[in-house]
Amino acid sequence: MERNLGELSFLLGENSSARAHWEAARDFYEKTGSEQGQGNVESNLGELLFKEGEIELAHQKIQNAFDLYLKTGSKQGQMNCFWTWAEFAEKDDPQKAIEYYNKALAIAKELQAKDKIAFFQEKIDELSKDD
């Protein structure tokens, strides 16, 4: 519930509310031992921190999420982390963004996620043209 309220708050631009809900959700997931839930919330917090300009901390949160997804075997979560890192890198380091999109694309192919395959390939093509 808290995670969903955080997502709603984030979409509405209410970042402090989103942070509070996600931190409450993280506490819950830690208490219940849900590493998948913890990964999801760390990822959410990473995106929020990036939006707020806290780049280093945002990368740390996404790394935390990635590590949890590796531990749980969540390919979807790993793919989403590469996607997020790619978005972080697009403006300042397009080559790095392409690397991350390629990693996300490989997982999308493994998962047979056709919509993501098309999206990641489009982003790679778009960024490659800008070189």
Give pLDDT tens digits for 5-34: 998 888 899 999 999 999 999 999 999 999
Q: Where are the domains of the chain?
A: 1-73, 75-131
pLDDT of residue 130: 63
Length of the chain: 131
* Global confidence as pTM: 0.89
* Ordered DSSP codes for the chain: -HHHHHHHHHHTT-HHHHHHHHHHHHHHHHHHT-HHHHHHHHHHHHHHHHHTT-HHHHHHHHHHHHHHHHHHT-HHHHHHHHHHHHHHHTTT-HHHHHHHHHHHHHHHHHHT-HHHHHHHHHHHHHHHHT-
pLDDT of residue 28: 96
Q: Which CATH architecture has domain 1-73?
A: Alpha Horseshoe (1.25)
Other beta carbons within 10 Å of 41: 28
Give the pLDDT band (50/70/90) at residue 131.
low
- Euclidean distance between CA atoms 73 and 24, whole angstroms: 24
Given a contact cutoff of 8 angstroms between Cβ atoms, the answer to whether 83 and 106 are in contact is: no
pLDDT of residue 2 exceeding 90, the answer is no
- The predicted-structure confidence for 40-83, as pLDDT tens digits, reads as follows 999 999 999 999 999 999 999 999 999 999 999 999 999 999 99
